[in-house]
Structure 1
């Protein structure tokens, strides 16, 4: 019976463009699905954990423009996938999770691993439902389309061959332009003389149109973490990264209009919005803009609306105002250290792996990596910003390497984040992926330590013992090296050939406090 349902399920996935499924299966229905997937030409990638499998799948989907698909077993399989569902939903990555479940036919007598899995997944997803015998191919097609529809996110299907199942989820209605709002925004743009543009993650899905609209604008352009690369950083208008923190306030204080192009409310830090300039938000779909006060929100097509609106602005900014702002802010991050600084790690790795796609974990190192890793390439940096979860960058690097065969991948991760997903080094070795894992190792939860106050647990709350990540990597089949200065790092990176490798960079964290003050206050 499960095979009869699994075949139309995987046919629906294949019709949606799915070529890989990630997961950690249990028995029975999971394995039927994997076997049927193989028959229709869909590969299976085995992970060591359910959340890691979800991040691999969602990252793969984010880079291929298809729904990333993960499969897990019932009970602990579904609950262990929770962080992966949340990451996809809050970071706007497309993910379709299919779980086994205690069937309704057996639920009356089987209590083992019996949970309301549809209900458990609902708060973490765009939609959660049961996949039964009622037109499973259509339900899978609709679920896959919903996962990729803006804003992208997670969708969950509980696989139960004993019921009809839920009807296919509905897709959001196309956006309708409000002509009155559009006219008010036109007048704002007509009168602007010192506009500043913020490019966010929704705009990253429309990179060619966005670049065409902004290329001739002589005004500073800030880019969020998740939109990094959407605007080439070699442009004279590029002004650096936007996080909603203090570092960009001097620029925004000079603006007479802030134009947010695809800026998602999940992207800024959760502080007050204190910018005084009026704000217009241009977006492909409706958003909750309450974080930003009372902006004007135009919803519509990037190609049809936004080039016209941006072209109305008459900028009086000096030439290269954006580039000069960026260079000044980056220079302010510098801090002398006795040992290997995170700044040196980022710059040395960037020079050695200039053509690489980058994944970045949550932690203090991201405050250095995001502004210092320069790129002109769209979709070349992946980070968990909406959820800001540790343990993201290694599974994301695996998904990215599979999505972009032939392109090198660099994974920046702290010691705390890598320890959460350490077993996935074996996945990296087994798949022989061209991923360089760089561990910024300072034996602590340094970002949390920087926020720690008196009487909040001291070192026991944030400091780890020493761990030899290079030795662990070697034990899992990944060549590992340890470095403690920039020259050793350079030599190690230059010597590494294609394939997986790990560099355990023993850093001096003393500069992080300075970076925190400069960027976040």
Structure 2
């Protein structure tokens, strides 16, 4: 058969199961967009390439399968960079396919030429600089497989325009290879058996689960072990949804904005079973003061994460699901009545201390949780609203809470919601954003409206960069610099300009009816919620402090300053 490089690219994407791509056409990728016309792939035209990258992330985060975004050379490609870096930090399988100037012009400072491979090699699993059309026959399926296998992450494929137009002849398509075997080696099995013995002999064990638990689809295994041995569970931000919020063993999120009780309980544990976590600084606080009396069992697919930030007592490099399936039969039944009683006392003492100052945010997310069903997917942007959603939202299933954790990208929420809606047309998507974050990719309201997606966008409107302002209040003697807005747009007019229905309650007493109506609305809608600019996120662990020494509530503001 005779096909061009562009046709090979599209055909191989189809053969790998890709049926939606997001992106923007331009001079250097027009042959690929022309080839789409002869395929079954649906092209989602975004209004900015960063939106395309986050739409791909929304598809990938909500399904666990690789998703693809396109961009042309130069500014089109560079606009993808933040989305690629975000995917790398949170281990999200996306493939970014970029056009490039013709090979004869590379290195000449041609129009819209940038060395995209050099720019992205530190923020992706692999970069393919395509030199001939026949390379695409293997590069495309390899990239999809690589993005999904091991620790997931982004892959970049840069294709010069002349290679897209190059015609080659070949006899048949190679077989699409599946992900590699995740079986347990004999040496790993011995470590897992040692870990099981330590868990059984411990008096105060605790499971700490992160994004790896979701990527490896280990929720059922974690629930089984937790119930069998009565092991309480805490999560990182990225682990939310991996263990049902309503489960009595779920103690909530730890870290900088985690529950004080969860941080205190973790400090009291004698054994921490860390599953698919990287012990990031927002989870650990001051690492020198992190759980000094605990023996840590760390299981992770990425060997570089073992002992990187926190030293482990038993470090195990393996697929998490395979590891838990090996451990589960070795775990003994245990009531742990003494440990659970101690935990209950800590929760009563510390949760009341930190929650008594929090009213409107908690009530808001209680309202949202009451209206949504367990299949609803929540996306957030980054800031105060993100932490309130993590603290007070209720999540029953993995992949139901999509947020930018590792690099914390404002502007993530709306395009991620679009991607989730495209990949899950039978589910309701609720995007929670702030008036600061939403304006960073607000143009994607056009994409949401164009495809009539079932997304309810909730804007927490406090006319400021709330998290920045809060930290200036706490740690910079209330010297506010560039954190409050002198002017704010009328989101009602913006939404109406895109043909999107708008709900705009005038005061908090009207929130309940408006939220219920918006979430039950079929199709795209926006709800603009006026919010008091004095609302803050508590607890908050000050930089350099231990997780056991957070600031809780308004009474602590003077003390912090």
Using structure 1 for the length normalisation, give the TM-score. 0.90
Say which of 376, 386, 401 aligns to 1:366.
386
Contact 1:3 1:36 in 2 (8 A): no
- Report the alpha carbon displacement of residue 456 of structure 1 after superposing the two structures with TM: 9.0
Q: Is there any run of 5+ residues in structure 1 with no aligned partner, and where? A: none
Q: Any idea what SS the aligned residue of 1:133 has?
A: coil
Please give the alpha-carbon distance, in whole angstroms, between the structure 1 residues aligned to 2:356 and 2:342.
25
Are the structure 2 counterparts of residues 443 and 61 from structure 1 closer, same or farther at C-alpha, using a change threshold of 3 Å? Answer: same
**Residues 68-77 or 495-504, more deviating:** 495-504
- Report the alpha carbon displacement of residue 460 of structure 1 after superposing the two structures with TM: 4.1
1:252 aligns to 2:266 (yes or no): yes
1:67 aligns to 2:77 (yes or no): no
Question: 1:315-346: per-residue Cα shift (whole Å, max 9, x none)?
Answer: 62445776776677655553558xx9222322
Q: Is there any run of 5+ residues in structure 2 with no aligned partner, and where? A: 167-175, 552-561
**Structure 2 match to 1:154:** 154
Say which of 484, 489, 499 aligns to 1:463.
484
**Residues 292-301 or 133-142, more deviating:** 292-301
1:240 aligns to 2:252 (yes or no): yes
Contact 1:24 1:71 in 2 (8 A): yes
1:445 aligns to 2:465 (yes or no): yes
Superposed, which structure 2 residues align to 1:72-471 within 5 Å?
A: 72-107=71-106, 109=108, 111-131=110-130, 132-160=132-160, 162=162, 176=185, 177-178=187-188, 181-182=191-192, 184-204=194-214, 205-206=216-217, 207-243=219-255, 247=260, 248-266=262-280, 268-269=282-283, 271-273=285-287, 274-276=290-292, 277-289=294-306, 290-309=308-327, 311-312=330-331, 314=334, 316-318=336-338, 319=340, 331-335=352-356, 341-355=360-374, 356-452=376-472, 458-464=479-485, 465-471=487-493
Contact 2:472 2:480 in 1 (8 A): no
Please give the alpha-carbon distance, in whole angstroms, between the structure 1 residues aligned to 2:365 and 2:23.
32
Say which of 505, 508, 513 aligns to 2:529.
505
Question: 1:14-66: per-residue Cα shift (whole Å, max 9, x none)?
Answer: 12211100012213x52322332342211010111111110111220222232
Contact 2:463 2:533 in 1 (8 A): no
Please give the alpha-carbon distance, in whole angstroms, between the structure 2 residues aligned to 1:321 and 1:507.
38
Please give the alpha-carbon distance, in whole angstroms, between the structure 2 residues aligned to 1:364 and 1:146.
35
Contact 2:60 2:93 in 1 (8 A): yes
Contact 2:505 2:528 in 1 (8 A): yes
- Report the alpha carbon displacement of residue 87 of structure 1 after superposing the two structures with TM: 0.9
Please give the alpha-carbon distance, in whole angstroms, between the structure 1 residues aligned to 2:451 and 2:350.
40
Using structure 2 for the length normalisation, give the TM-score. 0.84
Q: Any idea what SS the aligned residue of 2:98 has?
A: strand
Please give the alpha-carbon distance, in whole angstroms, between the structure 1 residues aligned to 2:311 and 2:179.
29
Total equivalences in the alignment:
515
Are the structure 2 counterparts of residues 351 and 513 from structure 1 closer, same or farther at C-alpha, using a change threshold of 3 Å? Answer: closer
- Report the alpha carbon displacement of residue 457 of structure 1 after superposing the two structures with TM: 9.8
Please give the alpha-carbon distance, in whole angstroms, between the structure 2 residues aligned to 1:80 and 1:98.
13
**Structure 1 match to 2:10:** 10
Contact 1:142 1:170 in 2 (8 A): no
